[in-house]
Structure 1
Amino acid sequence: MSRIAGFLRRTFGIVREHVGTDHLGNKYYVIPQQKTWTGQAWAQGLKAWTAGLSTAARVVVEVGRVVRAKRMVVAANPTEYEYIEGSIPTEWDAWIRGRRKEPPSIEELLKNELYREQIKLKAKEVEEKDLALQAKEYEEGLVATPARIAAKGHAAATSFGKQEISEDPASTANTFQPGSWMPTSKK
């Protein structure tokens, strides 16, 4: 069944070649530049000027549709709202965008993943050493601890902190007396 579908796709449609799959289940394809049989006939007018007289010749040319080379990914999780950043490895992303000519190999992907993990471990170790050094310097009195100040508002605000609730009523509904009003005369 897939042979028949492949034959029909090659004959009447676009051929895509499977290039690889990553560890997340995404499938990567390349569509080479090709000319399909699904072209369209179109008329092109040509004007020939001879002996001061104009004659128009119409030529009908059959042209097949040329499909540019493309690189594409079929995501393992195709819904947009479930996309998670980093669900396409950077090596494959570089290949899709054309920044590299050859698709990445499995060995290259594994090597780069191991390298990233080592960098994360080294960064964590450096951060722990830095915190230990700061604590030691604080104990010796060489440096002061950083002040931990929480901002309670913006400098342009009229009041900071919690607003106090007054016991006085805010409404004057019981004591309101309407004033008199006289409409102006039309002139």
Structure 2
Amino acid sequence: MNQIRALLQRTFGLVKHHMGTDQFGNKYYYIPQQKTWIGQTIRSKRIVEAVNPKEIEYDLENIPSEWEAWMRGRRKNPPTIEEILQNEEYRKVIKIRAHEVQQKEEIRKEKEYEEGLVAQPIQTQVKGHASATYFGKDKLSPEPTSTANTFQPGGWLPPGNSSKKK
């Protein structure tokens, strides 16, 4: 497809303006709205030429969010490399601060558990839903624990009744 586009650009004189290059080496272009020699109008486009065109799928992770916003028309002017690097540094600081807050929260919870202000979560061997009658118990009881509307089939077997089929 790129070969066809290149041939059309050479043949019909489509103008492609280089708008910038990101830190990965991707090149960004703007093609203004133009009329072809046969009278057809080609709408304006914003395109990227990937540094690695051999890849079948090009991840958005390989395009800085500032350039992605320009490509989609969410921003009018293309970003500068200084802006991209400044935003990257800001994202790193935010990640570090979020990690610090998470560690402080874990320390606070541990302190509350030790002081008895908050009950520790129960680690159970028996899995199940919180509404189940056996939730939070280590093992199932042979005695029925529920009746009527709360009875759960398969939650209780009468004593002496084995699972052997006769």
What TM-score does the superposition give when structure 2 sets the normalisation length?
0.65
Say whether 1:19 aligns with 2:39: no
- Identical aligned pairs, as a percentage? 56
Structure 2 runs not aligned, ≥5 long:
1-5, 133-151, 156-162
Provide the residue aligned with 1:128 in structure 2: 103
- The one-letter amino acid paired with 1:109 is I
Provide the residue aligned with 1:80 in structure 2: 56
Matches within 5 A, 1:28-107: 28-37=28-37, 39=38, 64-78=39-53, 79-81=55-57, 83-107=58-82
What TM-score does the superposition give when structure 1 sets the normalisation length?
0.58
| CA distances 1:83-122 after superposition (whole Å, capped 9, x unpaired) | 4442211111110111111000111101111111111010
For residues 93 and 123 of structure 2, the distance between their equivalents in structure 1, rounded to whole angstroms, comes to 33
- The one-letter amino acid paired with 1:135 is E
CA RMSD between the two structures: 2.9
For residues 27 and 123 of structure 2, the distance between their equivalents in structure 1, rounded to whole angstroms, comes to 49
Structure number with larger C-alpha Rg: 1
Higher-RCO chain (CA-CA 8 Å, sequence separation at least 6):
1
For residues 89 and 149 of structure 1, the distance between their equivalents in structure 2, rounded to whole angstroms, comes to 46
Secondary structure of 1:145's counterpart equals coil
| Mapped contact 1:11–1:36 kept (Cα < 8 A) | no
For residues 108 and 93 of structure 1, the distance between their equivalents in structure 2, rounded to whole angstroms, comes to 14
More helix by share: 2
Provide the residue aligned with 1:56 in structure 2: none
